[in-house]
Amino acid sequence: KGVAPAHLQKIVLSYEPSWAVGSSQTANPKVAQQGCHRIRQTVANLYGGLLADQVRILYGGSVNPQNISAIMSQPDVDGVLIGRASLRPDDFLEMVNWQQPVSNVM
């Protein structure tokens, strides 16, 4: 609240459940979606849906190569914050180079 709408597009927000901070509990895609959706809805209530759709919202919470696809497939998750997995170079590179599958919709 209080951020000028022109600046809102430049802000990246993030959501990490308190239980995930410093833990290695596996992230749940539904939890990621619910948290990011709540943030997007709050922005929409304050600034309108158009700006809410332009805000980037990241999820952090034990993201790893095994769950990144499921988390990134959530509609309100625009990216991830890689924590402990960044300490394993192969895992980190796999996630950095992750690409969303391209749909064959014509």
Here the CATH number for the domain that contains residue 87 is 3.20.20.70
Identity of the amino acid at 64: N
Q: Is the confidence at residue 100, as pLDDT, over 90? A: no
Residue 76 domain flag: yes
pLDDT of residue 1: 82
> Containing domain of residue 44, as a range?
5-96
Integer Cα distance of 49 and 93 in angstroms: 34
Closest listed residue to residue 27, CA positions, set 99, 75, 82: 82
CB 40 within 8 A of CB 22: no
Q: How far is CA 79 from CA 4, 34, 59, in A?
A: 23, 14, 6
User: How many folded domains does the chain comprise?
Assistant: 1
- Using pLDDT thresholds of 50, 70 and 90, give the confidence band for residue 78: very high
Residue 32 lies in a domain: yes
Residue 26 — pLDDT band, cuts 50, 70, 90?
low
**Residue 67, domain member (yes or no):** yes
29 is a domain residue: yes
Residue 41, domain member (yes or no): yes
Establish if 103 belongs to a structural domain: no
Query: Between 83 and 50, whose confidence is greater?
Result: 50
Give dist(CA 57, CA 42) in Å, integer: 12
